[in-house]
Structure 1
Amino acid sequence: MKTRPQLRVIFFDVFGTCVAQRTPVADELWKAAKEALESDLSSVSSEVRTKAMNMSYEQWFEFGGEWNKDVDIFVSDSKAKYNSVDWRAVDKYRFEALHKLLAQLGLIIPREDDASTSELRVKEGSLWDESQLRQLGLVWHRLPPWPDTCHGLELLNRQFSTVTLSNTYDDLMKYLVAHSSIPFKHVYTSDMFQSFKPNPKVYLGAAEKMGVKPEECALVAAHLSDLKGAKACGFYAIYVERPLEEKNPELREENIPDMQIKEDEDGFVALAERLGIQVD
């Protein structure tokens, strides 16, 4: 690993790195299903009720993973077709994907006239109605921080400018950061640079916007592909391992990180300590 440069700004990937994804999504789906099945006001059909009752927490956990994977495919297809990504469209598709996957499991019953309207509608007897589905579809706007995130950032803020750098749009990221009270000094998204990571335009544009040189920047991420893109632009690459977050384990062979915080260490708090900050 190379000698650490004189860093001034630390950028952070957010989804999976700063906020947890897999378990919170599964928790919310599991809880919402339980509430629907126990509600006296629920109109869940006997067939849907039986299917929902047979869904274990582990199955909801896997469902959340499939949901996220489906959205990742949508993003990849958009990149391949248009060499751009409309992150608001991705947010909209996330709801459509939830609707599609639940219908495949027989947990919601789509309306036959769906094709004639832009609104996704469900029949009575579904596990959730449209309003409840919309609320579930927004789970990605309110993902909770990892236990070390807020304290670690408070420590890092003593010495560095901390900045989000996420593949999403500004309004969503500001809402998520405010919702979870994550103490970033600045909120940047790839949408600000009309591109998406790992395109160099995002990393270099973010450094320029902060008024610093790339070698004065670090990227913290739980995804090696993101770190590879940042490192190619001159950033210092800090890998913070998070459970089930690495989507490209084959990249471990490339020795990408300049610094690595292992999964059994204390995340951002361990990072602050490694960067020479006195930990409270």
Structure 2
Amino acid sequence: MTARPPLRVLFFDVFGTCVQQRPPVADELWKAANEALESNASINDEVRAKATEMTYEKWFEFGGEWNGIEHTVVREQIAKTGTVDWRAVDQYRQDALRTLLARHGLLLLREDPTTSEVHIEPGSLFDAAQFKHLATIWHRLPPWPDTCRGLDLLNKKFSTVTLSNAYNDLMKGLVAHSSIPFTQVYTSDLFHSYKPNPKVYLGAAEKMGVKPEECALVAAHLGDLKGAKACGFHAIYVERPLEEKTPALREENIPDLVIKEDEEGFVALARRLGIQAE
């Protein structure tokens, strides 16, 4: 049997794998709600009562539901059209946040009958500016504690490249926001497709000038790794808390390498790939 060539490029899923999602979203929602309750005396009494009942744990659940709605909308778009406009995901997230806040009685909404635009009414927990800022949480998510240090180590031996279902400007902004030291930033919109479509994995390898067998995908999601492995990539699973969306795939033994949740993430990955921390 012919030996596989050595790895040259590590591609990385980003949301959940490289940057945290659930805790930062809950933290920002919780902080914004409390600041609004303290500073805005014009909040409707009923809205104020409902907002006061929102514990941190409830905001944590709220954030998970918000993310879930966005994924559902994306899947529906893909099912209908075979693709998705990743720039429109920002609008999907904004619409989902508005819907959820209204459902919890925290936003008072009015639809303009002439334009069908939805406006936030006075008395809501958040005004329009606060709402729009919250809706862009996903542009400023923080890295996991091991992300930047681990990538610094991995960069000694490999090219490290994002490969995310997002659009390139968003990803470049997110990487710059947290100073994450990737050597290249790729996103699925560059390949006019979405993961797990082979066009994304194979297009990324071709763009880097390497063969698929010289690449690995690093991800906290087995479905993503399954798609990459089917294209000839190595599959490296880095477990992250609450990030696995399809736990049933654990029965398929997809990963070639597993970094457990209680290990040190990308730093542990660097060690497993022969790079020692100084």
TM-score range with shorter-chain normalisation?
A: over 0.9
Aligned equivalents of 2:170 and 2:53: distance in 1? 34
Say whether residues 1:28 and 2:43 are aligned partners. no
Say whether residues 1:9 and 2:9 are aligned partners. yes
Deviation at 1:91, TM superposition (A): 1.4
Superposition RMSD in Å: 1.1
| Other structure's SS at 2:258 match | strand
Of the three residues 139, 142, 163, the one matched with 2:140 is 142
Distance 1:137 1:9, change over 3 A: same
Deviation at 1:111, TM superposition (A): 1.2
After TM superposition, the structure 1 = structure 2 runs for residues 50-199 of structure 1, keeping only pairs within 5 Å, are 50-113=49-112, 115-117=113-115, 119-199=117-197
Partner residue, 2:212: 214
Equivalent pair of 1:203/1:233 in contact (CA under 8 Å): yes
Distance 1:214 1:240, change over 3 A: same
Identity %: 72
Equivalent pair of 2:47/2:107 in contact (CA under 8 Å): yes
- The TM-score, its normalising length taken from structure 2, stands at 0.97
Deviation at 1:92, TM superposition (A): 0.9
Partner residue, 1:45: 44
Aligned equivalents of 2:41 and 2:180: distance in 1? 36
Deviation at 1:42, TM superposition (A): 4.0
Deviation at 1:118, TM superposition (A): 6.0
Aligned equivalents of 1:116 and 1:167: distance in 2? 35
Partner residue, 1:232: 230
Aligned equivalents of 2:83 and 2:238: distance in 1? 28
Is the deviation greater in 70-79 or in 116-125? 116-125
Partner residue, 1:275: 273
Aligned equivalents of 1:17 and 1:117: distance in 2? 40
| Other structure's SS at 2:120 match | coil
Deviation at 1:102, TM superposition (A): 0.4
Q: Give the unaligned 5+ runs of structure 1.
A: none
Equivalent pair of 2:11/2:160 in contact (CA under 8 Å): yes
- The TM-score, its normalising length taken from structure 1, stands at 0.97
Deviation at 1:119, TM superposition (A): 4.4
Equivalent pair of 1:152/1:267 in contact (CA under 8 Å): yes
| Other structure's SS at 2:162 match | strand
Deviations 1:191-236 (A, max 9, x none): 0000000000000000000000000000000000000000000000
Equivalent pair of 1:48/1:127 in contact (CA under 8 Å): yes
Q: Give the unaligned 5+ runs of structure 2.
A: none
Deviations 1:76-112 (A, max 9, x none): 0011000001011111110011001100110000014
Stretches of 4+ aligned residues off by more than 4 angstroms? none
